[in-house]
Amino acid sequence: MSLLEAVIFSSLWAFGLGQGKLEQPEISISRARGKSAHISCKMSTEVIDRAIHWYRQKPDQEIEHLTLISTQPVRVSLGGKSDKLEASKNAHTSTATLKINFLEQEDEAVYFCACWDWSHSWIKIFAEGTKLIVTPPDKSPDEDTSPKPTVFLPSPAERTLHKTGTYLCLLEDFFPDVIKVDWKEKNGKTILKSQQGNTVKTKDTYMKYTWLTVTEKSMDKEHKCIVKHEKNKGGVDQEILFPSINTELPAINSTEASLKDENASFRPPTAAACD
């Protein structure tokens, strides 16, 4: 069930208008059972003085309002446990924070911050959400489960016959499953239209592939695949650089990506082939 399908408000409700006004920097947070998790929400100056609402949505369930924070910290009992939730707000850092204590498996959900937008006739705006994953206590938080990229470059046949070139990035061995991938020109700011494969579970980790088809007029430009994931080293997005198609295609090793045979025709993997 989608978020829009799960919610019926008597007021107008806008998901996505919160971008630029409310932002949740983390797309996912993994914490061990029994520990605590902090979910942050960055506020723009337009909404910093407004009450921040916190919601959560579990898989296949309706969205649930948890609490709201105006100025003073709030503690909420939930599931028979006092102080299960703690909500706070810091005007100096423009951040609202929801702390979930005594983590249990049933706390897994997507958590959203929201506020009223008075400039749009009382529309409630939501940030994009942060997924909380509760892991077993014995799972090592130091294990490297960041996405491992393998790069596929365009084939000469595609470039000659179709006047296009397809870059493919295969991302493997990552956990958790929450991942965001965008494509841009090397020095560009615009997100390019790309294709995204499904995220597929492989034993205890996940894999995903994504590809970008470049037209003849853009073949002389370098492109990059930008990977946002909780376990990236230093919390920094991976940027995987692809050479221009009109040049000789050198091996790419700066991102620890391995180069496959450039003469291979592009055939995106299927979910069945990746199991």
Q: Where are the domains of the chain?
A: 3-135, 148-274
Q: Which of 6-15, 68-77, 114-123 has the highest mean pLDDT?
A: 68-77
For residue 247, what pLDDT is reported?
A: 60
Q: Per residue in 197-210, pLDDT tens? A: 999 999 899 999 99
Higher pLDDT, 67 or 18: 67
For residue 262, what pLDDT is reported?
A: 37
For residue 142, what pLDDT is reported?
A: 84
Q: Is the pLDDT of residue 256 over 50?
A: no
Range in 20-24, 107-111, 208-212, 245-249 with the lowest mean pLDDT: 245-249
Q: How crowded is residue 82: how many other Cβ atoms within 10 Å of its Cβ? A: 10
Mean pLDDT of 107-118: 94
What fold, for 3-135? Immunoglobulin-like (2.60.40)
**b or e along 180-209 (b: 16 or more beta carbons within 10 Å of the residue's beta carbon)?**
ebbbbeeeeeeeeebeebebbeeeeebbbb
Q: Does the fold of domain 148-274 match that of domain 3-135?
A: yes
Q: Per residue in 14-49, pLDDT tens? A: 444 445 589 999 999 999 999 999 999 999 988 888
* pTM of the predicted model as reported, rounded to 2 decimal places: 0.79
Mean pLDDT of 76-96: 94
For residue 120, what pLDDT is reported?
A: 63
Q: Is the pLDDT of residue 121 over 70?
A: no
Domain 148-274 architecture = Sandwich (2.60)
